[in-house]
Amino acid sequence: MSTIEFAVIGGTGLTEIEGLEVIHREVVHTPYGEPSGPVTHGMIAGKRIAFLARHGYTHNIPPHRVNYRANLWALKSLGVKKVVAIAAVGGITPEMQPMRLVIPDQIIDYTYGRAHTFFEDGLTDVTHIDFSWPYCTEMRNALLTAAECAKLNVVPRGTYAATQGPRLETAAEIIRLERDGCDLVGMTAMPEAALARELDLCYAACAVVANWAAGKDNEEITMEDIHQNLVVGMTNARALLRALVC
């Protein structure tokens, strides 16, 4: 059986990949409970990839209830070495306009109460990971190269604020996040990125800006607007993934 080139974790708005020739779907049981759903094995542009919908294939798992440990462990157990995470986010700084694609390079974690490490039970030594640069440089560069090939206008860096959710943030919270140096706000970067690092997975993200963050324009944030922006943004994200395997 051919090696899995990489895995895609799909976020809000991406529960399937257009053009993916599905080979089979596999239920993976893990020591950390059940993943968000079966792992889809498929071929795209002649290369084999794996796909997992972070929030479930019917989008029914809120961000604070995603079993991040089971998801990452399942992919690792299948031989995956590289992961691309797709995530819908809010834009904070001026460059992060709705429908833009962003390849973030930093994270600030504001989440709490989530199972955030594999290194807690049965250890012979306390284990730490270097998380200075939370995203894999190799995969980030591959995404940026794919964006050039697909002629997609992506923002090449940014700091992702990972908040607890599932509610959206207040305008005052967004002011604080911007003061902290954040460009984007979302709910799923952590602990996903850290768990990937603990498993030695080459992990990077493509953030799709779905809306301006609270207080960044004069309009109320509506799910209808988010959906409309994601239709365009996720179409571009799919084009990025196709270029990544070419």
Query: Is 213 annotated as ligand-binding?
Result: yes
Residue 108 backbone dihedrals phi, psi, to 5 degrees: -120, 130
Structure token pair of residue 69: 């440990």
Strand, coil or helix: 204: strand
Query: Is 111 annotated as ligand-binding?
Result: no
Query: Is 40 annotated as ligand-binding?
Result: no
Query: Is 12 annotated as ligand-binding?
Result: yes
Q: What whole-number distance in Å separates Cα of residue 28 and Cα of residue 35?
A: 7
Query: Is 234 annotated as ligand-binding?
Result: no
Query: Is 58 annotated as ligand-binding?
Result: no
Query: Is 188 annotated as ligand-binding?
Result: yes
Question: Are 73 and 32 within 8 A, CB to CB?
Answer: yes
DSSP for residue 49: E
Question: Are 53 and 10 within 8 A, CB to CB?
Answer: yes
Task: Give every CB contact of residue 22 below 8 A, 6+ residues apart in sequence.
Answer: 40, 41, 42
Query: Is 55 annotated as ligand-binding?
Result: yes
Residue 85 backbone dihedrals phi, psi, to 5 degrees: -105, 125
Amino acid symbol at 171: A
- The partner residues of 106 in beta bridges, in order of sequence, read 159
Question: Are 182 and 108 within 8 A, CB to CB?
Answer: yes
Binding site for phosphate: what residues are annotated? 12, 54-55, 188
Binding site for substrate: what residues are annotated? 187, 211-213
Binding site: what residues are annotated? 12, 54-55, 187-188, 211-213
